[in-house]
Amino acid sequence: MLNSLKKTDSAVAQLLRSLPDLGTMAKEGDLVTGTLLRRTPRAVYFDLGKFGTGVVYGTELVNAREALKNLKEGDPITAKVVEAENENGYVELSLAEAGKQKSWQAVKELYEKGEELKVKIIGANAGGLMAEIENLRAFMPVSQLSNEHYPRVDDGDKNKILEELKKFIGQELTVKILDFNLRNDKLILSEKEITSANVKEKLAKYAPEQIVDGIISGVADFGAFLKFADDPEIEGLIHISELDHKLIENPKDIIKVNDQVKAKILEIKDGRVTLSLKALKEDPWQKVEERYKAGADIQGKVLRFNPFGAFVSLDPEIQGLIHVSEFGGIEEMKAKIREGETYTFHIDSVKPQEKRIVLKLKK
């Protein structure tokens, strides 16, 4: 009887040793390694060691067709756990998801190390450029392009922007991973992050109020871009309001690409430089009251209409404004005065600090 019990205990112990350790049971989402055990038409089985036996079947078997194509018995694999234990006691696996997860892990490491990498541009839309990293689709918004590659489109036309971006397809660009999200399959790249770091270092020798020589590298409806003559990698923005003391509707009336100019640094912040041309020009509004007096009549040429009135040129540097309320409405105003025509105006008020001369039409 005693011998019989000992034999039973030994058999139970042997059975328990053959079972997977429940304390180390694989969890859903884990990456596990194993070797190919056997194939059947509807399933492929793997030895996962302490985790037991894994199986790939159904849709996952179809998705893993390429990965399994040249795999032989005993060959190692890495798979993702889809279900820790199915109704048959197997660990359900996904080879396709494992490959994707390994790719995201590689992306995570690149991001955490802040490494620069070269990517080949494979597509473009009006919002930016497409590339691939570790077989994952990545996107680089227009705003993350370097100053050198940023599309200079005057009117912001999306079709024109797209045409400029298409020129990068097939090219290699050096980028950093700006952000990623595995759940949303989002992988965002930045070229500007790399150039910004270099620019910040170079900007250390510059300071506000300093005057620099530069070349106009682009003109847009909001202002102009200027590359420093001493270091073309540094590019600053001259806002339309800083181009000249007079009111400007189109920056191209003041400046053109490749113009060589001097500009004053207004601000350096977060690697961005704000510049001014008008700061180096004499301000005609400082002496405007010597030339124009409230209550006087003067000849002026209507420059252009806008929703709140019309700008009137009094001389090459000074413009006045006649408000639409003087006429009752826009259509009534356009019926009485025309762009390009000269009329006699009455100066209602002169406000040098606001850079404004308010006019009325002389009746």
Report DSSP letters for 125-168, one per residue: ETTEEEEEETTEEEEEEGGGS-TTTS---TT--HHHHHHHHHTT
Q: Residue ranges of the chain with pLDDT lower than 50?
A: 1-20, 22-23
> What pairing do the DSSP bridges indicate for beta strands 272-276 and 235-239?
parallel
User: Domains in the chain: how many in total?
Assistant: 4
Q: Which residues, in sequence order, are bridge partners of residue 32?
A: 79
pLDDT score of 47:
93
- The answer on 262 and 297 residing in a single domain is no
Phi, psi of 320 (to 5 degrees): -110, 170
What SS3 class is residue 250? coil
Q: Is residue 184 part of a domain?
A: yes
Q: Is residue 6 part of a domain?
A: no
Q: What is the residue-wise DSSP string for 251-280?
A: GGGT--TT-EEEEEEEEEETTEEEEESGGG
pLDDT score of 98:
67
- The answer on 302 and 356 residing in a single domain is yes
User: Do 107 and 126 meet the contact criterion of CB atoms below 8 Å apart?
Assistant: no
Q: In the numeric block, which tokens belong to residue 54?
A: 């894994």
- The answer on 310 and 261 residing in a single domain is no
Domain end, chosen from 153, 171, 196, is at 196
Q: Is residue 265 part of a domain?
A: yes
The residue segments making up the domain with residue 341 are: 289-361
pLDDT score of 140:
93
- The answer on 93 and 24 residing in a single domain is yes
In angstroms, the Cα distances linking 64 to 54, 60, 174 are 14, 6, 33
pLDDT score of 313:
92
What does the pLDDT look like over 138-157, one tens digit per residue?
A: 999 998 888 778 887 766 67
DSSP H/E element including 342? strand 342-351
- The answer on 270 and 220 residing in a single domain is yes
Q: Is residue 129 part of a domain?
A: yes
Dihedral class, residue 141 (left if φ above 0, else alpha if ψ from -120 to 50, else beta): beta
Dist CA 4 CA 333 (whole Å)? 115
User: Do 359 and 312 meet the contact criterion of CB atoms below 8 Å apart?
Assistant: yes
- The answer on 145 and 85 residing in a single domain is no
- The answer on 121 and 190 residing in a single domain is yes
Dist CA 348 CA 294 (whole Å)? 6
Residues in the chain, total:
363
Q: Is residue 12 part of a domain?
A: no
Q: Is residue 324 part of a domain?
A: yes
Q: Is residue 34 part of a domain?
A: yes
- For 140, residues 6+ apart whose C-beta sits below 8 A from its C-beta are 128, 129, 130, 131, 173, 175, 188, 189, 190, 191
Q: Residue 90 maps to which CATH number?
A: 2.40.50.140
> What pairing do the DSSP bridges indicate for beta strands 235-239 and 223-228?
antiparallel
Domain end, chosen from 38, 71, 100, is at 100
pLDDT score of 156:
65
- The answer on 222 and 181 residing in a single domain is no
Whose CA is closest to 145, among 169, 174, 116? 174
Dist CA 89 CA 329 (whole Å)? 82
pLDDT score of 18:
44
Q: Is residue 11 part of a domain?
A: no
Domain end, chosen from 280, 315, 345, is at 280
**Quick one: CA torsion of 205, 211, 212, 213, rounded to 10 degrees?**
-160
User: Do 236 and 265 meet the contact criterion of CB atoms below 8 Å apart?
Assistant: yes
Distance of CA 159 to the CA centre of its chain: 18
